[in-house]
Amino acid sequence: MREQSFFRQFMIASPDVVFVTGDIAETPCLQELLHDMQHAIEVPLYFVLGNHDFYHGSIETVRRVVQEWCVAQPGLHYLSASGLTELTPTTVLIGHDGWGDGRYGDYWASPVRLSDQELIRDFQGLDREAVLSKLRALGDESALHLREVLTKAVDSYQQVMCLIHVPPFKEACWYEGEMGNDDWLPYFTCQAAGEVLLDVMQTRPDCHVTVLCGHTHHAGAVQMLPNLRVVTGPADYGMPCISDVLEIP
Ligand SMILES: [Fe+2]
């Protein structure tokens, strides 16, 4: 019933395309839900995956399966496995899942333990040091992808839309109107991705990038550079909704 209400919101908004910034489902029902959503909204759906999407699965396997499956799903586009997607002659879309890479905040002092470490196979049985190594590797993987696609994007387009599940800056890691604290930041920001965004966009003041994130469940926006804006959408478990309707130039 909640899904039907969600889909009705799309009929009213009547978008040309839809962006989804992750935490869509859990692995066993991820493809079914993506399929149902895309068929209900009847427009191209561009998405990245969040940590919840890997629950009861493994990150590499889920990413590969979803990438291969999307080849036969013409309306579904997984951005972590994509290059540049032109939206208009001046605007391009890129993205990656991202991951909280343990770099912001105080990982070693933090008492926080996400369900990720029990429910995602990659983390099961790892000690604290090995978990941190894995978090950093996942963040670095996102940064590598973003550097490649963002560098190409600003060479050919004036506007870039970038989807990443995990906010790339602590200033964009909102919790009830405040910035996340040192206990949560290690898991809720992808510093490696943020450094790439700053690095590339500082060299191209003539281009603008808008970064759309999920993960924190709290809404906020921050202007990191005159040409780099980061927006985080709100979310409640089991209550999907449209965060915003954007005009793409
Ligand atoms: Fe998440």
Give CATH superfamily name and number for 2-232. Answer: Metallo-dependent phosphatases (3.60.21.10)
User: Do residues 34 and 48 make contact, with C-beta atoms less than 8 angstroms apart?
Assistant: no
Q: At what angle do helices 2-13 and 27-41 cross, to 10 degrees?
A: 40
Task: Enter the tokens of residue 44.
Answer: 């191209």
State pTM to two decimals.
Answer: 0.95
Q: Residue 106: helix, strand or coil by DSSP?
A: coil
User: Do residues 85 and 148 make contact, with C-beta atoms less than 8 angstroms apart?
Assistant: no
Report pLDDT for 2.
63
- Containing 172, the helix (H) or strand (E) segment is none
Report pLDDT for 177.
66
- Containing 37, the helix (H) or strand (E) segment is helix 27-41
Ligand 1 centroid from CA 156, angstroms: 31
**107 secondary structure, DSSP code:** T
Ligand 1 centroid from CA 90, angstroms: 30
Report pLDDT for 176.
65
Ligand 1 centroid from CA 164, angstroms: 10
**Mean pLDDT for each 10-residue chunk of the chain (249 residues)?**
76 91 96 93 96 98 98 96 97 98 97 94 97 98 98 98 97 76 94 98 97 90 96 82 86
**120 secondary structure, DSSP code:** B
Full DSSP string of 42-98: -S-EEE---GGGGTTB-HHHHHHHHHHHHTT-TTEEEGGG---EEEETTEEEEEE--
Ligand 1 centroid from CA 224, angstroms: 22
- Burial letters for 166-181: b for 16+ Cβ neighbours within 10 Å, e otherwise? bbbbbbbbbeeeebbe
Q: 221-231, pLDDT tens digit by residue?
A: 999 999 999 99
Ligand 1 centroid from CA 79, angstroms: 16
